[in-house]
Amino acid sequence: MAQRRNGKITKYPRSLNINIGIVLFALIFVYIVICIFQYFNTKHIVGYEVKEGSLSSDNIYTALALRTEELVEATDAGYVNYFATEGVRVGVGNLVYTIDESGQLLEYLKSQGTDDFKLSNEDLSELRTQIVNYASGFNENQFYTVYDFKTSLDGTVQKLSNASILQNIQSLNSGSATLQSINYYYSPLSGIVVYSTDGFEDVTLNTVTMDMFDQSTYSKTQLINNEIVKSGDVVYKVCTDENWSIVIPESDPEKVQELLDLEYVKVRFLKNQYESWGQVSSYTNADGDTFVQLSFTNSMLTFCKDRFLSVELITEEQSGLKIPNSSISEQSFFIVPKEYVTKGTDGSDGVLRVTYDDNGQETSEFVATTIYNEQDENYYLDDSTLRAGDILIKLDSTDRFTVSAKDTLVGVYNINKGYPDFKQIIILYQNSEYSIVKSNTTYGLNVYDYIVLDASTIDGTDSEASVAGDESSNG
């Protein structure tokens, strides 16, 4: 027992066992982390496919449409029912609407078994066309147009069903007191029927103000079927003249004068991409606001229900190869007279450069180089294979030329061969995002070439850098 109480516990040092597998795993893990970090902090080369295209000046406006519009008022009170389709031309004497003084027409028709109306294929086609036209021009930033579309569609359905009602009325008992309370109204004018009003019907170029272009305060009254009207209320309006115009505000006097000098300007309506030529005129009101009017002699029917239109004025339009501005870069090249450029044994372009052997004796060597442009009597040669101060030899002559002069070319990096190769471009037109460049030039681009989307990802001193494995995208 005494021996047990006096016993001591001795701790032995633990040996460090190094597992080679853990070390390798740690090294691989660190390597992967470094690679991921470098990947996300390195600009990657993305390709862009060159295609033919066009650009126009960025002249997009919200225009106010002005037409010759005549308001037609009701002469009797009652429930109005429309029979002429909105947006369709009517002649003098054509039936446009009826007024039911008793308000019992629909109940009477139901009692006669005529409440089931079927739309013809032509009627359904009209509805489909209206829906497709709206869907193609829908803008999420102008959601309020949905309500106008809903009202317009309801009106179209009502007018189509009213056409069937009219046929049934004629087949019913003409001696009925209900039918005797229906008054028929025919168009006193020839033109396009529109079932809405907005108070702009009498506006002309000389009465336009800047406040009129504030769409947040704009209000349009849609005239609805089976609504009660009083004598003197507006029941519809007629656009009586095919000649119409749009008005845009323009505060830049130089731009106004430019448009006036052109006399006629091509206008693209963004609603349906329709294009038409408008005659230019202008007016400056007492407040100093200047408005430009573009007058047309056609297409009024297409836009008869629109008061505001998004339009683009095409004052300049160029066609060619369309490339993004981000792909454009500049690079310096040596300027060498053409007579100093020769062909190598393999047919490649190059120059004869003076060099010296181990004994200090002058000799020459062929240096392959790429021609990037030519101007007058000179070639633009790559500065990666030549150095300032190199002495070139003219073939079959004792003439010498010292490389020194440089110039800068504007171009893009072509990656058709898997590495970026600079190609000069001639810019025909440019806006904030894209450029139109000349096609089929000797040292330039062709359609379907692949170029670097972002020129800043290329090191201009290393045009042979590989782009293998980088991502490409179509333009």
Which residue in 459, 448, 394 sits closest to 422, CA to CA?
Answer: 459
As a whole number of angstroms, the distance between CA 283 and CA 294 comes to 12
What is the model's pTM?
0.56
Which residue in 316, 272, 309, 273 sits closest to 294, CA to CA?
Answer: 309
Residue with tokens 């960025």: 58
As a whole number of angstroms, the distance between CA 423 and CA 437 comes to 12
Helix (H) or strand (E) holding 53: strand 51-56
Token pair listed for 71: 């308001």
CB 316 within 8 A of CB 429: yes
| pLDDT tens digits in sequence order for the chain, 475 residues long | 445 555 666 665 665 566 777 788 888 888 898 888 877 776 677 888 888 877 766 688 999 999 999 999 999 898 888 888 788 889 999 989 888 887 766 666 555 544 455 666 766 776 777 787 777 666 676 666 676 677 667 666 666 666 666 666 655 555 555 566 788 899 999 999 999 999 999 999 999 999 999 988 898 888 887 788 999 999 999 999 999 999 999 989 999 998 999 899 999 898 888 889 999 999 999 889 999 999 999 889 889 989 999 998 888 767 789 999 999 999 899 999 999 998 888 888 899 998 888 888 888 889 888 899 988 889 999 888 888 888 898 888 888 999 999 899 999 999 988 888 899 998 888 877 888 898 888 888 888 899 998 888 885 434 444 444 444 455 4
Token pair listed for 70: 């005549």
